[in-house]
Amino acid sequence: MQSRPERPARPATSSRLRRGRLALVLPLTLLLSACASYAPQDTLRPKGPFARAIDNLWDGVFAIAVVVFFFVQLGTLFIIIRFRRRHGDDELPSQTHGNPRLEIAWTLLPAVILAVVAFFTLRTLFDIKEVDEDDLTIRVVGQQWWWEYQYDTNGDGTFGEGDVVTANDLVIPAGVDVHLEVTSNDVIHSFWIPSLNGKMDAVPGRVHPLMINADEPGTYVGQCTEFCGLSHAYMRQRVIALPMDEFEAWLEAQQEDAEMPDPDEDPEAFAGAELFTTQCSGCHLARGINDEEFEAQGNGEELLVARNAPDLTHFASRGTFAGATFDLWVDADGDEIVEADEIGGELNRAELEAWLRNPPEQKPMAADHVPEGGDDRVRGMPNFNLQEDQIDQLVAFLATLD
Ligand SMILES: [Cu+2]
C-alpha cells in the first residue's frame, strides 16, 4: 500500500468540537425557524373553514405518521439488538425463506392505514371544492407578474369588459363562501393564500374552481407558487376580507368611474391626469379619464406581450401595487401588513415615485426586451424617463383614483 503524504494533524478535540457544533447548528436552525413570530403564510394556522378542513386532515395524518415512525424505529432497534452477531458465535443463523404471516401482515397493515388516510383525504377534497350556485364568483387571472380580479358586476355572466376589474388585493366579504374561477392570461401560475385554502394552478385556457372563506375581516397574504418567469418572486397576492356591508359599499364604489381632478382646486393632479392620458393610455385604463385614448391605442393589446396591464380606475383603493410587491400606503401600526383601514391614510410616496422613475429597476420585467421575431410588444412597464415634476403630477393624480 502506498502511504499518503501526511496531513498536519489537527488536535482531535477541535475537530470533534466542530462536528459537535455542526450537529447542533442544523437542528437548532430548524427549531428556531419554527419560532418566527411573523409568519403570515402558515398553513398550520388556518383562518377559514376550507383551510381548517385541510389542517384537520393534516393533524390526523401526522398523528398516524408519528405512530408509524416510532413503530418502525423501535422495530428496527429491536431487530438490531436482538439478532446481532454475538461474540464467539460464528455460526450462520438458521436460513429461512419468507414468513407468510409476517408478509401478509406488513402488506395489509399499510394498505389499511393508507385506505383510511385516502378516505379522509377524498372527503376533505370534496368538501373544499363544493361550489354553491349562489356563491359570489370572482375570476382570478394570473398575469406576468401580478394577479387580476374580475367581478361580474354588469351581470352578463362573463368577466372582464364592462365589469369591475382590480389587481393585487382581492377584496371579499368575510364569513361567506367565495368561489374563485382561477385562470391565466399567459403562462401557468398558482394562486395560494395559505391561511384560507390550498393552492390552485392558474392555467391558460382553463378555469379551475377554488373556494375561500375568511372567518374574520382581515388581510391574508400569499404568493404565486408556480415558477412563471423573471419576476415570479415578486408576484404576490393578498385577500382583504371586509364585513358584508363594507364589501357591498366597496363594490358599489368600484363601479363608479374615476373623476377628472378639478384644474382650479388641484392643478397638480389635473396636470397628472393629462399626462396620464397622453403617456399611459397605451396600456392602462382609468375609466372616466382616458377611455377614448385607451380604446384608440388598442386596449393595451398593441404594446404588451401580455396584452394587459392593471386597471387603474380605483388604483388608490388598493393596499399594494406591482403584484403586491410594494405597499401603496404607509403601514401605520407597523405590523408589516397594510390593512383596509390603512388604505387612504398616508401615501407610500417614496416607492410609488421610485416605480414611476424606473419601473424595471423596482421589479425585473424585461420591459425593454422585444421578443425575437415578434412585433415591438414589451413585457412589463418600461421606463419613461419622466421628469421629477411629471412624477409629482402623476402621483398626485394616482392618489385621486380611490
Ligand atoms: Cu406567477
Pairing of strands 136-143, 146-151: antiparallel
If you average pLDDT over every residue of the chain, what do you get? 90
Model confidence band, residue 370 (pLDDT cutoffs 50, 70, 90): low
Give the pLDDT of residue 334: 87
Domain edges within the chain: 42-75+101-128, 136-255, 267-400
Model confidence band, residue 208 (pLDDT cutoffs 50, 70, 90): very high
CA of 144 to the centre of ligand 1 (A): 6
pTM of the model: 0.87
- Residue 50 sits at φ, ψ, to 5 deg, of -70, -45
CA of 237 to the centre of ligand 1 (A): 10
CA of 363 to the centre of ligand 1 (A): 14
Give the pLDDT of residue 11: 54
Same fold, 136-255 and 267-400: no
Residues 106-113, mean pLDDT to the nearest whole number:
93
CA of 140 to the centre of ligand 1 (A): 12
Non-local (6+) Cβ contacts of 264 within 8 A are none
Residues 250-277, mean pLDDT to the nearest whole number:
95
389 pLDDT above the threshold of 90? yes
CA of 147 to the centre of ligand 1 (A): 8
Class of domain 267-400: mainly alpha
Residues 332-339, mean pLDDT to the nearest whole number:
90
32 pLDDT above the threshold of 70? yes
Least confident piece of the model among 36-50, 210-224, 364-378: 364-378
The tens digit of pLDDT for each residue in 150-180 reads: 999 888 888 988 899 999 999 999 999 999 9
CA of 230 to the centre of ligand 1 (A): 9
Answer whether CATH 3.30.365.10 is correct for domain 136-255.
Answer: no
Model confidence band, residue 301 (pLDDT cutoffs 50, 70, 90): confident
284 pLDDT above the threshold of 90? yes
Give the pLDDT of residue 8: 58
CA of 117 to the centre of ligand 1 (A): 32
294 pLDDT above the threshold of 60? yes
CA of 189 to the centre of ligand 1 (A): 4
CA of 322 to the centre of ligand 1 (A): 13
CA of 122 to the centre of ligand 1 (A): 28
Closest CA to 189 of 306, 42, 349, 298: 306
CA of 106 to the centre of ligand 1 (A): 43
CA of 235 to the centre of ligand 1 (A): 6
Give the pLDDT of residue 10: 55
pLDDT-above-70 percentage for the chain: 94
Residue type, 91: E
User: 300 or 280, which is more confident?
Assistant: 280
1 pLDDT above the threshold of 50? no
| Helices 388-400 & 267-279 angle (0-180, nearest 10) | 100
